[in-house]
Chains A and B, each alone.
Chain A
Amino acid sequence: MAVQQANDGAAAPATGTGRIEVTLSVNGRTYHGTCEPRRTLADFLRHDCGLTGTHLGCEHGVCGACTVMLDGRTVRSCLMLAVQAQDAQITTVEGLAGDGELSPLQESFHDHHGLQCGFCTPGMLLTADELLREIPDPTDEQIRDRMSGNLCRCTGYQFIVDSVRDAARRRGS
């Protein structure tokens, strides 16, 4: 595997046709690796960093399953190149729970049956996390509007709306 935990090596200039060095931070841990320029951030996270919680559902930016947090904002990791995430701070679904403890948002999904197959769930969680940071007490309409860039094929969305609403309550209390 091309990735190892970085020590202090500065990355080579990000240019050229061959493999390019990439250093980025995921869930607080620094990863350093080399890849072709064409490697998507999603593939780098999944296959080079071993963080397979980020899923690929369409690879053209519609389904939202690959959503990660990049420097504090959600992005589609299938619509970025790994080389473009140089020095970025990334949070993936693996970074939401700590030491076997689910976060309040994850707990809400668990309580309200907010997932079935779980494939869209990582993207849902990160999108909901951003939503709740920006709108701490959203209405159902706001939840539906803000989450509508993430497709779920299993749940029919109702229980995800319930989960996010309840997560807002938990965060507020």
Chain B
Amino acid sequence: MTAIEHETPGLVGARLRRIEDPRLLAGRGTYMDDLALPRMLEAAVLRSPYAHARIRSIDATAARDLPGVFDVLTGTDLEGLVDPQPVIYQLLPDQRATNALAMATDRVRWVGQAVAAVVATDRYVAEDALALIEVDYEPLPVVADLQSALADDAPRLYDGWSDNTIGGMGYGCGDVDAAFAEADVVVSKHMRTGRMAGMPLEPRGCIATWDAYTDELEIWLSTQSPNLARDLLGDTLRIPIHKVRVRVPDVGGGFGVKFDFYGEEIIAAVLSKRTGRPVKLLEDRLESFTATGQSRELEMDIELAAKADGTILGLRADIATVLGGALGTVGIGPGWLAMTMLTGPYRIPNVDVKLTGVLTNRAPMGSFRGWGQPEGCFGYERMIELVARELGLDRSEVRRRNFPAPEDFPYTTGVVFTYDSGRYADCLDLCLDAVRERGWADQQAAARQEGRSLGIGYGFHVEATAFGPSRILNLVGLQHSGFDEAVVRMDTTGRVTAFTGQIEMGQGVETAMAQIVAQTMGVPIEDVTVVSGDTMTCPYTGYGTGASRGAAMGGGSLMLAAGKLRAKALRIAAHLLEAAPDDLEVTDGRIHVKGVPSQTVSFADVGDAAYRRLNERLPDGEDPTLEERHVLDPENLAWSYGCTAALVEVDRETGFSHVHDYIVAHDCGTLVNPAIVDGQIHGGAAQGIAEALYEELVYDDEGQLTTGTFMDYCIPTFSEVPPFTMRHQETPSPHMPGGMKGMGEAGTIGAPAAIANAIDDALADLGVTVTTLPVTPSRLHALIQTAQEA
């Protein structure tokens, strides 16, 4: 562990109330749509009603003539002007490019694809104008799902392609065939995870201001990744980025979908340039269903081979990721992570995993919290319980038997990754203890007496966090970096301003960063201000806020920058106190000579000596001012892990499932703010429960989305989400500052597997095996009926 002395004990690790809260509670937040710039216009986008069609012509005459309309933009206007939307993950060998512009030009490939955009005095008028645009479509045969996309005679989404795939790849280690040959048991399943989306309560949006006289492009963007957005604006608009400024208002939830880079950013920028006005472009809720990245959908054939004692010998898997009509920003990234995480927390010596990316006439896939890991966990955690079931062994014992021991770390999985540290068996026990404390077994027995079906399921997950080591990510295929830069400045009065590239979108960045900086510096937390959300004034973050990297990467880089600044402050203080820096300590926000509290200076004295009254006070050789910078580009990812337990009741007659109780035991190394960590895991778990039981983007045979409102797309409410019980253990990361690991996605990962396992457990006498997510009432009803008939 990089040693950082904590000068203010207790701040890191404290359950502090959030600094962000008061203004948000008072209704004083400033979210995207709360911003209005002088002379601003509002835009709206016309979207394809067809999943697959040729655009014969677009007539926007009537729209242009509508009073209040300033401009209409179509896809052909963008040709030659901008580059295709970027795909930052090039993971597959010879990965095919879909090269989609921000708007369709001659052909639409999913319902909701942007076809034209109107900019007008306000959104009402802009929507009026959309209704006046006439598009002549020639419908084409629709590739509605995976099976039809892979059929030999499938219509091709892209002319000249031999099939509808963008490519494939695999990883392996050991001798899988031999492992399967010598196994006592082999369990095989075909599994499917449904399509869903991050669906933050605030939809996406931006305001672009492109000044034709200065050529400056300023864009307010509801994004998780301002530096990435700035670079991609430059790439796509073909402009140098020294005059591009991305600013981020309050973000009403991101969950990955606001990590990605969308065509609307380009549309708004071009419309602003053409009209000479700031242009606000928000997606509304209906648009958000098809205009914003969708996630999760894949199918996998998975096989696990084990010895009679439960020791896993080998894993085979073949994953098909169901992509949309074009590649989104992250391409096949989530599918790739699902594949590479399929060994989960287990020692599996022989592995053969494969991945194929398949295009369909559905909306493009993008990022969503968990990013392939919930899908992977659904695979490995279902299979481990099925192996235990097949062998008649206790499922916890089978897990335990296959965990790497604490002394096995760093543990190399055989598929790309090396886990840094872990005490998996302890974490499992922590979860099992909580299950015992809450009396689930008794509840289950009592329910059986009453004829009710209550099941207990577990999902143990490993999570890739603190993303990540730039060169390794580049080697794998990421066309961007993973480091974080941080700047910490002390002012003339001894107060501290911390600058980060991280973005606050609900996860308490401001509070957590302030805790880290205050503790490292030894100043009161009230004396720390955290600044973020502006590429002009804030440091560069390679990846932004996502991939469970905020605290570990943003916080870690700030911790190291603050450590440097503290050292400089102590050198100045030492000069003022005529002592050696090593003889100083900081307590209660003041610097004094160890053991001599009366020999003391304040940070304000240091600030004054560094900025204002320097003579004889600032040591020779020290530059004036107090500012330090640190770039953290770690050697590895940090690997958090946790064990989820779910208590689920199934109504056998109706197929309805309800989660009654829920426990997560978790280890993300050093906890910065346990309240925030709990809140993150609760929220992620709710999304995981949604994935397991409630939310699904259902497409019909014509490629139409049939769950495109909050009426049909069932985000769970207070009544569906259970109470949560949390348990923590802290196993520091050996290579991250402060031993911190990330955890932002943790809650999503173990949930689907735990719930599916609980449903199987509730129906154990029937031998039902859940293989498709979400486990909707009608799907489960069908499974139960089939089992009962058998």
Contact = CB atoms under 8 A, between A and B. Distances in A.
A125 B25 contact: yes
A38 interface: yes
Contact of B25 (A65, A92, A118, A148): A118
B26 A143 contact: no
Interface string A35-58: 010110000001100011111111
Nearest to B673: A113
A37 to B, nearest CB: 11
A38 B719 CA distance: 34
Contacts of A148: 717-719
Contact of B710 (A39, A106, A151, A161): A151
A82 interface: no
A145 interface: yes
Given A111-B17, A119-B201, A119-B202, A157 B718 contact: yes
A93 to B, nearest CB: 3
Contacts of A36: 124
B33 A93 contact: no
Interface centre among A53, A96, A125 (most CB of B within 10 A): A53
B438 to A, nearest CB: 15
Contacts of B617: none
B255 A54 contact: no
Given A119-B252, A143-B718, A153-B200, A51 B25 contact: no
A102 B22 contact: yes
Given A36-B124, A65-B201, A116-B508, A58 B710 contact: yes
Interface string B169-210: 000000000000000000000000000000111110000000
A121 B30 CA distance: 13
Given A62-B711, A159-B679, A151 B201 contact: yes
B281 to A, nearest CB: 15
Contacts, number: 176
A93 B27 contact: yes
B285 interface: yes
Contacts of B22: 102, 106, 110
Contact of B124 (A38, A117, A140): A38
B676 interface: yes
B442 interface: no
A53 B747 CA distance: 29
B21 interface: yes
Interface string A85-121: 0000000111011000010001001110101111111
Interface stretch (B57-65, B577-585, B682-690): B682-690
A115 B25 contact: yes
B675 interface: yes
Nearest to B15: A113
B29 A118 contact: yes
Given A57-B202, A117-B251, A156 B724 contact: yes
A115 B24 contact: yes
Interface residues on B, range: 35 or more
Given A65-B201, A116-B683, A57 B285 contact: yes
Give the size category of A's interface with B: 35 or more
B495 interface: no
Contacts of B711: 60, 62
B724 A118 contact: no
A156 B682 contact: yes
B113 to A, nearest CB: 22
A116 to B, nearest CB: 3
Contacts of A60: 285, 709-711
Contacts of A151: 201, 710, 715, 717
Contacts of B710: 58, 60, 62-63, 151
A92 B27 contact: yes
A50 to B, nearest CB: 9
Contacts of A152: 201
Given A94-B26, A154-B253, A57 B201 contact: yes
Interface in B234-284: 250-255, 284
Nearest to B680: A116
Interface string B686-710: 1100000000000000000000011
Given A113-B678, A150-B718, A156-B686, 19 more contacts: A51-B27, A55-B201, A55-B252, A60-B709, A93-B25, A94-B27, A111-B17, A116-B253, A116-B508, A117-B505, A118-B250, A119-B252, A144-B718, A153-B687, A154-B253, A155-B682, A156-B682, A156-B684, A156-B747
Interface of B: 17-18, 20-22, 24-31, 33-34, 36, 124, 199-203, 250-255, 284-285, 505-508, 675-676, 678-679, 681-687, 709-711, 715, 717-719, 721, 723-724, 747
Give 7 nearest A-B pairs by CB, closest first: A53-B27, A118-B24, A117-B506, A119-B252, A156-B682, A116-B506, A93-B27
9 contacts: A56-B33, A58-B709, A60-B709, A62-B709, A97-B25, A102-B26, A118-B29, A120-B201, A156-B724
